[in-house]
């Protein structure tokens, strides 16, 4: 026969190893969850700050009757601020506009958007400061 104390001793070692592994695993999971929720909170705070800054910029552009273009020459697309859409009477959209869409509403006598893009790519000019007319949604021409 095996003494009762020897059986319990083996059992205690096995149980204490299992308990130790369980506690360590639980501790690691708690740390991972804490890090995850901390990062999620920081991401939400960053999103909120970005949204507030974006709203301030939009408000300044609207009140100043200014528009903002972000021209992605590589993809041939343009981002317009909400104020650009408002000034021209168009419904704002979240998608970027193509060169063709913007070129269609520029007055034909005021230059060609594609030619302007080619001059920028050829490094003939390094910035754009140009006055031109764009067609409002109601058909009138608006000076920009």
Q: Of the candidates 49, 64, 79, which is a domain's last residue? A: 64
Q: Number of structural domains, the chain? A: 2
Interval 50-74: pLDDT, tens: 999 989 998 998 888 888 888 888 8
Let me know whether 2 and 56 are in one domain: yes
The Cα 32–Cα 40 span in angstroms is 12
Three-state SS at 91: coil
Let me know whether 59 and 27 are in one domain: yes
Let me know whether 88 and 139 are in one domain: yes
Residue burial 31-57, b: 16+ Cβ < 10 Å; e: rest: eeeeeeeeeeeeeeeeeeeeeeeeeee
Let me know whether 25 and 89 are in one domain: no
Three-state SS at 69: strand
Which residues constitute the domain of residue 55?
A: 1-64
Residues 6 or more apart whose CB falls under 8 angstroms from that of 15 comprise: none
Three-state SS at 89: coil
pLDDT computed for residue 41 by the predictor = 98
The dihedral region occupied by 65, where left means phi > 0, alpha psi between -120 and 50, and beta the remainder, is left
Q: Of the candidates 17, 41, 64, which is a domain's last residue? A: 64
Interval 68-123: pLDDT, tens: 888 888 888 999 998 999 999 999 888 899 988 888 899 989 877 788 888 888 88
Let me know whether 51 and 72 are in one domain: no
Let me know whether 72 and 53 are in one domain: no
pTM tops 0.75:
no
The Cα 137–Cα 140 span in angstroms is 7
Let me know whether 60 and 81 are in one domain: no
């Amino acid at each position: 026969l095996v003494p009762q104390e020897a059986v319990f001793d083996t059992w205690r070692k096995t149980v204490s190893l299992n308990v130790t592994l369980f506690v360590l695993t639980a501790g690691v999971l708690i740390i991972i969850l804490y890090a995850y929720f901390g990062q999620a909170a920081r991401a939400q705070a960053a999103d909120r700050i970005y949204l507030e800054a974006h709203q301030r910029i939009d408000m300044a552009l609207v009140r100043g009757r200014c528009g903002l273009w972000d021209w992605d020459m590589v993809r041939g697309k343009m981002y317009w601020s909400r104020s650009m859409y408002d000034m021209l009477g168009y419904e704002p959209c979240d998608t970027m506009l193509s060169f063709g869409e913007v070129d269609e509403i520029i007055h034909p006598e005021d230059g060609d958007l594609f030619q302007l893009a080619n001059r920028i790519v050829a490094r003939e000019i390094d910035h754009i400061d140009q006055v031109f007319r764009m067609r409002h949604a109601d058909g009138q021409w608006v000076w920009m």
